[in-house]
Amino acid sequence: MDFELSQDHKVLQSAVRDFVEKEIKPIAMKIDEDHMIPDDLVTKMGEMGLLGSYLPEEYGGAGLDMLSYAIVVEEVSKACGSSGVLISAHTSLCSGPIYTFGTKEQKQKWLPALNTGEIIGCFLLTEPDAGSDAGGTATTYRREGDEFIINGSKTFITNGGYQGTGILLASYDRSLKHKGISAFIVDLKSPGVSILKNEKKLGIRGSYTTAFAFDDLRVPVENLLGQEGKGFNIAMDTLNGGRIGIASQALGIAGGAFERALAYSKERKQFGQPISEFQAIQFKLADMWTRIETSKLLTYKAACLKDAKRNYTMESAMCKMHASETATFVTKEALQIHGGYGYIADYEVERMFRDAKITEIYEGTNEVQRVVISKLLLS
């Protein structure tokens, strides 16, 4: 059992760190203040290969693996949680299911523009009443000739504001619950798609979180993803992989907050010495680092299991749950170490504290993760 990253992964990690230091870190606070990620940064991330890390080169991806993807999201999120979740949702929730369940023609049509970042993708599952309960999907579809007609609404859609490509879940018979759901690849600039609003949020303010309405949206039959009536299976598989991305984002936010707290504790002096000399601060740093390292082991293990094509359902739920709770804990302690300055927007831990909480909520709340884990244990 080897706990060291391979040389290739170390090179990737170093390259992403350099990119983040140069392109993202200097504008991370502005991204939060402006509630948007600059288009030129999205373009640069695409050129760097960060938006198609584990997708094959034949479709414009970087041809790396799932562990590489986790490292990318983690390193970006150390500076900017909003940029980290853009990559995560785009890659694992849109490009990923097209690659996994799409036909060769669908992959050739949709993946190249997604993998280069020319188009930003999203996953349209959550609804105002159903939440992330795919079985409670109220958005409906019917077939008319060579088209499907979709009506309904979606909310809390990460990356939705780009109006790029979306994977949309809809039901042809709500009485069938999860058995009546199908998945579709949709162009969100099509007639029949309306943005209701882009949400104003506590954290990850640079990330678009969008509510949509669909009024007789016409989708070509060839845009059906996978088999009709199998959308629930696609959703569950997609969310399973997506949790690795959220865990990586949380891991990065926690790591970034820890780095800043550690540096501050060495610089800040009280009673004639750096506060890092006080045992109370040392205990905080020890607890923070221990949780980060255990979260990293869980997250990297889940990514490696997915790469090995082994079952990773429990591991993805555990890493998402543990890493997100670690992010909340670590950013809170980082703020505490900064004292009153931690509450000031000029210090980055204030933003990271706000960014961390959402990782406990999306891709299924941590209560959902505990249900998944316990059911697997009991079975």
Catalytic residue annotation: 363
CA distance 277 to 2: 34
Are 157 and 188 in contact by the 8 Å Cβ rule? The answer is: no
Are 241 and 92 in contact by the 8 Å Cβ rule? The answer is: yes
Are 358 and 365 in contact by the 8 Å Cβ rule? The answer is: no
CA distance 196 to 192: 12
First-residue to last-residue Cα distance in the chain? 27
Q: Which two tokens stand for residue 90?
A: 């785009």
- Amino acid letter for position 16: V
Q: Which two tokens stand for residue 36?
A: 């948007």
Q: Which two tokens stand for residue 55?
A: 């997708």
CA distance 332 to 342: 9
- Cα 226 versus chain centre, distance: 23
Q: Answer left, alpha or beta for residue 182, where phi above 0 means left and psi between -120 and 50 means alpha.
A: beta
Name residue, tokens 């990620």: 37
